[in-house]
Chains A and B, each alone.
Chain A
Amino acid sequence: QSALTQPASVSGSPGQSITISCTGTSSDVGVYNYVSWYQQHPGKAPKLMIYEVSNRPSGVSNRFSGSKSGNTASLTISGLQAEDEADYYCSSYTSSSSRVFGGGTKLTVL
């Protein structure tokens, strides 16, 4: 159950697009389309942003999108806004029916 690999930090200017990667293995991301993404602001509980690789829950902005290729999933945020500054985590279902999170990525809006 090794954590999924995410970049520690990414940054972008308002209006730009950024992509956060999430690399797993053939026992999790690579074999299941059960990848989710969460946004967490300081001192707050996480918020579900994407599920099943690319689906957005009701109420989540369409500026957020997800994709997957092989063992790597990605979260793209377009039209960056100041309120997007937060920590982002990916997670995946695994072959042992457990779940695993990524280490988290701190997004800074310049």
Chain B
Amino acid sequence: QVQLVESGGGVVQPGRSLRLSCAASGFTFSGFAIHWVRQAPGKGLEWVAVISYDGINKYYADSVKGRFIISRDNSKNTLYLQMDSLRAEDTAVYYCARDSRLYAIYDYGMDVWGQGTTVTVSS
């Protein structure tokens, strides 16, 4: 079935790095833009980044710009989020989510979500 599975979360000290992965299955991964969305404990959803279906276009939230890098390997059906210079405020559940439309240029809603992976930034 159509599925996204995140991994790579954990506990990390401030200033250190972590790389999250999101493995896709059940659909043509290379045809869909994919987002990272996070949710701090007890807080709302925060959009983090998006990468186009072909990996060419990448956009970031101001809160992570210059520290996080989104990338994808369509040959491995996998999305990544490289997180550097981590801060306490980056502590959250990180979800990957698929845009609902094939070869989307704009935003047609995120129709498939993973279960999330937890990142805790603490000394």
Contact = CB atoms under 8 A, between A and B. Distances in A.
Contacts of B46: 101
Interface string A6-19: 00000000000000
A48 B44 contact: no
Could you say which interface size class chain A belongs to?
Answer: 20 to 34
Contacts of B111: 48, 51, 57
A40 B39 CA distance: 12
A40 to B, nearest CB: 8
Nearest to A51: B109
Contact of A46 (B45, B106, B107): B45
A64 interface: no
Interface in B45-60: 45-47, 50, 57, 59-60
Interface of chain A, helix or strand or loop or mixed? strand
B81 to A, nearest CB: 15
Nearest to A6: B44
A99 B62 CA distance: 11
Contacts of A101: 37, 44-47
A36 interface: yes
B108 A34 contact: yes
Contacts of A36: 107-110
Most chain A beta carbons < 10 A, residue from B59, B106, B107, B115 = B107
B112 to A, nearest CB: 9
Given A32-B107, A45-B113, A52-B108, 6 more contacts: A36-B109, A46-B113, A48-B111, A51-B108, A99-B47, A101-B47
